[in-house]
């Protein structure tokens, strides 16, 4: 094999490797964030530990990608929760079109440092949601704020957390 052919083969392999790495990056990043709470990604939990003293204000935000003809909003904008207390709230979605649409919600928590202390037990965001033409649904979110948020020097002074969702067309 000539040196030029060998160099071309190595470069082609490098390009293929880089393309594969680029394709795998988003799922790997999402997995990393969901396991660590990095970037404001809430963590999953089985159950809440139970309430402790104190209060944290939780604000709810809802957005819809322009390509998805839905109305999407929280049933309430803000609530006060005790750290460790299991809390259930609802978001409401309505398909404004004449055909069924499937959407997937992306979510985050701000400030980012609070992400690892905001834990979801149940959420419509864990799976795709399909709404029939004109259908309106209430979608629950069951969560708690880990009491450890008040022990961490980076988060002990946080008194408001925002849970934000954006619905995108699935597929």
Total-model pTM:
0.75
Task: Note the pLDDT of residue 45.
Answer: 83
CB 128 within 8 A of CB 103: yes
Among the residue ranges 8-17, 79-88, 133-142, the one predicted with the least confidence is: 8-17
Cα–Cα distance between 50 and 87 in angstroms, integer? 11
**pLDDT (tens digit per residue) in 77-127:** 999 999 999 999 999 999 999 999 999 999 999 999 999 999 999 999 999
- Residue 35 or residue 69, greater confidence: 69
Domain ranges of the chain: 1-36, 40-169
Phi, psi for 116 (deg, rounded to 5): -75, -10
Environment class of 167 (CB within 10 Å of its CB; exposed 0-12, middle 13-18, buried 19+): buried
Task: Note the pLDDT of residue 38.
Answer: 47
**pLDDT (tens digit per residue) in 15-67:** 767 666 555 544 544 444 444 444 445 567 888 889 999 999 999 999 999 99
Give me the CATH code for the 40-169 domain, please: 2.60.370.10
């Amino acid at each position: 094999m000539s040196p030029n052919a060998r160099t071309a083969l190595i470069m082609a392999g490098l390009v293929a490797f880089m393309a594969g790495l680029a394709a795998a990056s988003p799922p790997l990043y999402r997995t990393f964030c969901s396991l660590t709470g990095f970037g404001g990604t809430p963590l999953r939990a089985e159950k809440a530990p139970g309430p402790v003293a104190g209060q944290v204000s939780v604000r709810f935000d809802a957005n819809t990608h322009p390509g998805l003809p839905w109305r999407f909003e929280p049933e309430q904008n803000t609530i006060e929760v005790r750290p460790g207390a299991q809390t259930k709230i609802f978001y409401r979605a309505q398909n404004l079109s004449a055909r069924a649409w499937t959407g997937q919600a992306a979510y985050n928590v701000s400030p980012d440092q609070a992400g690892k202390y905001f834990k979801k037990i149940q959420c419509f965001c864990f799976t795709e949601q399909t709404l029939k033409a004109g259908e309106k649904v209430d979608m629950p979110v069951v969560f708690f704020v880990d009491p450890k948020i008040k022990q961490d020097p980076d988060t002990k002074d946080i008194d408001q957390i925002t849970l934000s969702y954006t619905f995108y067309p699935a597929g």
